[in-house]
Amino acid sequence: MAEKIITTEFSEEMQRSYLNYSMSVITARAIPDARDGLKPVQRRVLYDMSELRLNSDKPHRKSARIVGDTMGKYHPHGDSSIYETLVVMSQNFKKGMALVDGHGNFGSIEGDGAAAMRYTEARLQKFAEEVYLKDLDKTVDFVPNYDESEKEPEVLPVRVPNLLINGADGIAVGMSTSIPPHNLGEVIDLVQAYIDDPEISLEEMIERMPGPDFPTGGIIANKKELAEIYATGAGKIKLRGKMEVELGKRRTDKDKLVISEIPYTMIGAGINKFLMDVADLVESRKLTDVVDISNQSNKDGIRIVLELKKDADIDKIKNILYKKTKLEDTFGVNMLAIAHGRPETLTLKGILSNYLEFQYENATRKYQALLEKELEKKEIREGLIKACDVIDLIIAILRGSRNLKDAKACLMQGDISNIQFKHPGFEEDARQLRFTEKQASAILEMRLYKLIGLEILALEKEYKECVKKIAEYQKILKNRTNMNVVIKEDLAQIKNEFATPRKTVIEDGREAVYEEAPMEVQEVVFVMDKFGYCKVLDRATYDRNQEAIESDYRYIIPCLNTDKLCIFTDKGNLHQTKLQDIPNAKLRDKGTPIDNVSKYEGSKEEIIFLTSLGRLTGQMLLFATKMAMVKQVPAEEFITNNRTVASTKLQEEDEIAVIRVVGAEQDVVLQTSGDMFLRFAMEEIPEMKKNSRGVRGIKLGKGEELEQIYFVTQESVILYKNKEVHLNKIKIGRRDGKGTKARLN
């Protein structure tokens, strides 16, 4: 087969391919559907468990079995994502209503991971079985799976607004979703009110559903901002943990501050981080009233205990914990979902509108299917009742028929041409028969015991029930008002069976106020040896041992203890760290590796220039790279709150060679690895922004690099390869020139 080469514009192909990839991630992986509130992987896991008959009244099945079946049939994206989904849907501390009943180690609120899938077992929760998967065959469309070997539901017929009840989170390409969980009973009250009045105001909606209800409890401290969040679909919720004071029962017992509920954002590693933060606050003497901290949490709930000194200031401790730890945190809300095939940020009313539209569609399909089924049953029962009335004729036809086809033709069309009646007199009545095909089939399959009097009465009773149900279903399908009644009754039943009390308190909490005592400003000296071990010495220690320190340490920087350390590396990074984060040490202490107190990575980069931010203020820095790109940058460009930023823009495979503080020098000399020197006026190097590459300083030969920059003074003499080079005797040229060969002999 000959190859077919298609010529296309590379940029257009990349753009088209990336757009296709982006939409695939958005719609088929990361963002939930507004109708059932589920991502594809969640929907497929639940459907597969339903297909495996893992109902709440059946035994648990190995998680590996569920994961393998889901991956093989519906979700070919790896077992880890499927198992993680299964685990999360079973964790009642992450979901408003857990959908999976896990058996075994499914992780903990403190961040412990679940056991491997071969060790755990699972089945559906009754809530998922009843509310998410019921009437699956009567309501939603089924579509081919990834290889068209199976069918899977496009959405699940979820009977509640799952987007609100269980929330959602996910990161796609260029967008993300973050929807908090809500209380099932409150959401149902809201939906019922919305059905009664689609023009209901936001204030009335919030009366019925005042805000999110997180499974970890805690406190929402910005109640007044919730209306704006629900009106726009985006915003920030301020969360706080719940604290209680336990007074000592005896004189020897200490009072305790007990944290019984945590913010939803602290789930996982956040609890250990909180314990470490509190320990740091105690060690730094910001929490002087706390003498001990212990984590006494267990399967019954969170219990973090802070033992207090006598007469401790409780309000001050609470304010410090809220201000300095994650006990107060924010939950970013972005109610993004796939609505009508496209991602859309939904308001609260938008979520309800999409949900109700989906419910109307499902209810119409369901009751239409039930109506058709009852009409068929009515038709068959009418035929059977009629057949019982003329049972002698039916028996005569059956006895006179040679085969089933002849008997059926006689019952349906009155065709007696192939019927040999044993006794005359039935011919005229037989010609009048006009049973339907379904009735004829039912008559031919009817057993003789159905002719018993009680069975005939039961048949007539079933017929009346069919007629009653048909009228009921036709009434429901007739208009939206009747359908609304059915949906509301269904929701009321769900609320009655599954609703739980609210866990999260909603209030307008007072702002946590904590004024930190200002640090006493002192002169210190930062020192670091050639092995990267650093420490901070007080000024008096440095003054007494100046000569020994200068001989032992590579970097010595006098500064203030409130200053920042600036580390410029050859990879174009600037790492900043506060001096107060570097331990104060004695002269004989080894110190701390610079990697441990900053984001500098000694294995991947090399320090080119190191100073304090205070010493840089008002200065100009000269940058030079190995490819001889030079520029001057004002030090103000490097004032930032970020711990790591780019200090310059580098070409591919280029590195910073030299960074110098510019003084009053008139000329500068560039020296290369090929023993070439070029002298030109400092003013030829332009002042530029930090994110620019600079201009070429000297023309380099093949394989040559810029190695060093010197400032020219009246007596500029350097030792280069054990020979003296007089910089002020080098002839002045122009920037970007080739330079002069050094005379080393």
Contacts of 211 by beta carbon, 8 Å cutoff, 6+ apart? 182, 220, 223, 226, 237, 504, 506
CATH value at residue 680: 2.120.10.90
3-state secondary structure of 535: strand
Please determine, for residue 296, whether its predicted confidence score (pLDDT) is greater than 80: yes
What percent of the chain has a predicted confidence (pLDDT) above 90? 57
Give residue 745's pLDDT.
Answer: 39
Mean pLDDT on 188-214 = 95
Give residue 743's pLDDT.
Answer: 56
Give residue 251's pLDDT.
Answer: 66
Give residue 246's pLDDT.
Answer: 86
Please determine, for residue 180, whether its predicted confidence score (pLDDT) is greater than 60: yes
Q: Specify the pairing of strand 219-220 against strand 505-506.
A: parallel
Please determine, for residue 94, whether its predicted confidence score (pLDDT) is greater than 60: yes
User: Does any domain span residue 227?
Assistant: no
Q: Does the annotation count 18 as an active-site position?
A: no
Pick the residue with more confidence: 376 or 1?
376
Domain boundary residue among 141, 157, 173?
A: 157
Total tally of structural domains belonging to the chain: 4
Q: Which of 5-9, 306-310, 406-410, 483-487 has the highest mean pLDDT?
A: 483-487
| Structural domain span for residue 585 | 523-741
Give residue 498's pLDDT.
Answer: 96
Q: Are residues 696 and 549 in the same domain?
A: yes
Q: Are residues 668 and 549 in the same domain?
A: yes
Domain boundary residue among 106, 126, 157?
A: 157
Q: Are residues 534 and 642 in the same domain?
A: yes
Give residue 360's pLDDT.
Answer: 95
Report which of 84, 119, 118 is spatially closest to residue 100, judged by C-alpha positions: 84
Sign of the Cα torsion 642, 644, 650, 651 reads: negative
User: Does any domain span residue 638?
Assistant: yes
Please state, in angstroms and rounded to a whole number, the distance separating the CA atoms of residues 85 and 29.
12
Mean pLDDT on 559-586 = 90
Give residue 517's pLDDT.
Answer: 65
Give residue 721's pLDDT.
Answer: 82
499 within 8 A of 188, measured Cβ to Cβ: yes
Please determine, for residue 744, whether its predicted confidence score (pLDDT) is greater than 60: no
Lowest average pLDDT, out of 119-133, 174-188, 731-745, goes to: 731-745
Please determine, for residue 228, whether its predicted confidence score (pLDDT) is greater than 80: yes
Give the tens place of pLDDT for each residue, 311-354. 888 888 999 999 889 999 999 999 999 998 888 999 999 999 99
Q: Which of 107-121, 443-457, 587-601 has the highest mean pLDDT?
A: 107-121
Q: Are residues 476 and 590 in the same domain?
A: no
Q: Specify the pairing of strand 629-634 against strand 695-696.
A: antiparallel
Burial of residue 232 (number of CB atoms within 10 Å: 0-12, 13-18, 19+):
middle
Q: Please report which confidence band the pLDDT of residue 202 belongs to, taking 50, 70 and 90 as the band edges.
A: very high
C-alpha dist (Å) from residue 231 to 170, 190, 196, 617, 673: 21, 15, 20, 47, 65
Instruction: Give the CA dihedral 438, 440, 441, 447, nearest 10 degrees.
Output: 130
User: Does any domain span residue 507?
Assistant: no
Please state, in angstroms and rounded to a whole number, the distance separating the CA atoms of residues 223 and 263.
15
User: Does any domain span residue 503?
Assistant: no
Q: Are residues 533 and 649 in the same domain?
A: yes
Contacts of 120 by beta carbon, 8 Å cutoff, 6+ apart? 62, 63, 102, 103, 104, 105, 106, 114
Q: Are residues 141 and 247 in the same domain?
A: no
CATH value at residue 309: 3.30.1360.40
Residue reference for tokens 């509190």: 278
CA angle 512, 238, 93 (to 5 degrees): 120
Pick the residue with more confidence: 517 or 63?
63
| Residue among 18, 21, 119, 146 flagged as catalytic | 119
User: Does any domain span residue 172?
Assistant: no
User: Does any domain span residue 401?
Assistant: yes
Give the tens place of pLDDT for each residue, 629-665. 999 999 998 988 888 899 999 998 899 999 999 988 7
Give residue 97's pLDDT.
Answer: 94
Domain boundary residue among 107, 124, 157?
A: 157
Lowest average pLDDT, out of 390-399, 522-531, 665-674, goes to: 390-399
Q: Which residues are 724's β-sheet partners?
A: 719
Give the tens place of pLDDT for each residue, 674-726. 888 899 999 999 999 999 999 999 999 888 999 999 988 766 788 888 788 88
Mean pLDDT on 36-60 = 95
Q: Would you say how long the chain is, in residues?
A: 745
The count of C-alpha atoms lying within 13 angstroms of the C-alpha of 286, restricted to the half-sphere facing its C-beta, is: 19
Mean pLDDT on 121-138 = 94
Phi, psi of 677 (to 5 degrees): -125, 135
Report which of 335, 242, 318, 245 is spatially closest to residue 281, judged by C-alpha positions: 318
CATH value at residue 95: 3.90.199.10
Please determine, for residue 117, whether its predicted confidence score (pLDDT) is greater than 90: yes
Give residue 536's pLDDT.
Answer: 92
Q: Are residues 316 and 277 in the same domain?
A: yes
Q: Are residues 475 and 613 in the same domain?
A: no
Please state, in angstroms and rounded to a whole number, the distance separating the CA atoms of residues 682 and 718.
19
User: Does any domain span residue 62?
Assistant: yes
Give residue 742's pLDDT.
Answer: 65
Q: Are residues 287 and 374 in the same domain?
A: no
Q: Are residues 549 and 694 in the same domain?
A: yes
Please determine, for residue 159, whether its predicted confidence score (pLDDT) is greater than 90: yes
Q: Are residues 552 and 619 in the same domain?
A: yes
Q: Are residues 471 and 536 in the same domain?
A: no
- Write out the two tokens for 667: 């000329």
CA angle 632, 638, 640 (to 5 degrees): 165
Please state, in angstroms and rounded to a whole number, the distance separating the CA atoms of residues 109 and 113.
9
User: Does any domain span residue 373?
Assistant: yes
Work out the mean pLDDT of the chain and round it to a whole number: 89
CATH value at residue 421: 1.10.268.10
